[in-house]
Chains A and B, each alone.
Chain A
Amino acid sequence: DVKVTQSSRYLVKRTGEKVFLECVQDMDHENMFWYRQDPGLGLRLIYFSYDVKMKEKGDIPEGYSVSREKKERFSLILESASTNQTSMYLCASTPRTLAKNIQYFGAGTRLSVL
Chain B
Amino acid sequence: DQQVKQNSPSLSVQEGRISILNCDYTNSMFDYFLWYKKYPAEGPTFLISISSIKDKNEDGRFTVFLNKSAKHLSLHIVPSQPGDSAVYFCAASLLNFNKFYFGSGTKLNVKP
Report which A residues bind B (CB closer than 8 A): 4, 9, 31, 33, 35, 40-45, 48, 50, 58, 90, 92, 94, 96, 98, 100-108
Are A96's CB and B44's CB within 8 A?
no
19 contacts between A and B (CB under 8 A): A4-B43, A31-B98, A35-B102, A40-B9, A40-B104, A42-B2, A43-B44, A45-B99, A96-B98, A100-B32, A100-B49, A101-B98, A102-B46, A103-B91, A105-B36, A105-B45, A107-B41, A107-B42, A107-B43
List, in ascending order, chain A residues with CB within 8 A of B44's CB: 43, 90, 103, 105
Are B6's CB and A101's CB within 8 A?
no
A42 and B6 contact, Cβ closer than 8 Å, known pairs A50-B98, A100-B49, A101-B98: yes
List, in ascending order, chain B residues with CB within 8 A of A94's CB: 98
A42 and B104 contact, Cβ closer than 8 Å, known pairs A90-B43, A107-B43: yes
Known A48-B99, A92-B43; further 13 A-B contacts with Cβ < 8 A: A33-B100, A40-B104, A41-B104, A42-B4, A42-B89, A43-B102, A58-B99, A98-B96, A101-B32, A101-B93, A101-B100, A102-B46, A108-B43
Query: What separation, in Å, do the CA atoms of A106 and B34 have in the docked complex?
Result: 17
- Using C-beta atoms within 8 Å of the partner chain, give the interface range for chain B: 20 to 34
List, in ascending order, chain A residues with CB within 8 A of B102's CB: 35, 42-44
Query: What separation, in Å, do the CA atoms of A108 and B53 have in the docked complex?
Result: 33
Residue of A nearest to B94 (CB): A101
A45 and B105 contact, Cβ closer than 8 Å, known pairs A90-B43, A100-B49, A101-B32: no
